[in-house]
Amino acid sequence: MTVIVGLITVLVCVFGGFMLSGGNLIALWHPPELVIIAGGATGALILANPPKVLKIVIKEAPGITKGSPYDKEMYMDLLALLFELFSMARKEGLMSLESHIEDPDSSAVFTKYPKILANHHAIEFMTDYLRLMVTGAANAMEMENLMDLELDTHHAESGVPAGAVQTMADGLPGFGIVAAVMGVVITMASIDQGPAVIGAKVGAALVGTFVGILLSYGIAGPIASAMGHIKADESKFIEVIKVALLASLNGYSPQVAIEFGRKVIFSTERPAFLELEDYVKRK
């Protein structure tokens, strides 16, 4: 929602200010300039990135309108789920988790938390390391090293789409200059047609610079930044799972293990200790 509000604010303030200054919006409507700038920048994006990155950009860019799903309620569900799994393992042994982690969609535990279950990356990360814990294939130090390597891979991979959009945003002012220069070339070819015609053509050329800068700093750049923020929230969500799992593997009680996880949540989403305790009890 905030993304939509921000976009509307940018457009209203820019074009509204132009109109308050006595400008006519029709004077800014030059489709050839848009074709040069937006088309050129899109072509550069395609040229610079492999198809797998382009698919992710197309998939994730519209998703910023929904905002980050990683709010306080999401974290409380995550910690309640981990508490339930750790408690089960403590009472019935790690092998009691096997049926749940092999098929989370049919698990009576996981299905109580549909928001977490819908996050395939988090579920995959959680179940993979719970599976290692069940099989006893790794000690705490080895598992932490493996988790760090996976998280490093995730950070590097998740930052690529936002970086691609940011690179396109950085190039948009340049394409605006290209459109402006081409407009000046056309103007010079019409130098004998009088001040009115020349003025209109110079105005059209200057619109190219305006559009390139507006698309860069007002739309494409903020989109890249919003994508980056969502990925940072996703990385933090996975980190909470990592910390709680390691605490459990090191022998801490379920309550203490999820407290380890709670402590690394960003302060804006972190539930209070008693708030989380009450929520877990209700669940």
Under 8 Å between Cβ of 258 and 83: yes
| 250 domain residue, yes or no | yes
How many structural domains is the chain composed of?
1
13 occurs within a structural domain: no
**pTM of the predicted model, to two decimals?**
0.86
In Å, how far from its chain's centre is CA 154?
13
CA nearest 56: which of 224, 281, 280, 241?
224
Task: Write down the pLDDT at residue 152.
Answer: 93
Q: What is the tens place of the pLDDT at every residue in 219-245? A: 999 999 999 999 999 999 999 999 999
The answer to whether position 51 is within a domain reads: yes
User: Looking at this protein, which amino acid is placed at residue 90?
Assistant: R
Q: Tell me whether residue 151 is in a domain.
A: yes
Residue 236 sits in which domain range?
Answer: 30-282
**Does residue 2 belong to any structural domain of this protein?**
no
Contact 64, 165 (CB under 8 A): no
On whether residue 221 sits in a domain, the answer given is yes
Q: What is the pLDDT of residue 63?
A: 85
Q: Is residue 16 part of a domain?
A: no
Express each pLDDT in 88-107 by its tens digit.
Answer: 999 998 899 999 999 999 99
Give the residue ranges of the chain where pLDDT is below 70.
137-138
Report if residue 15 sits inside a domain. Answer: no
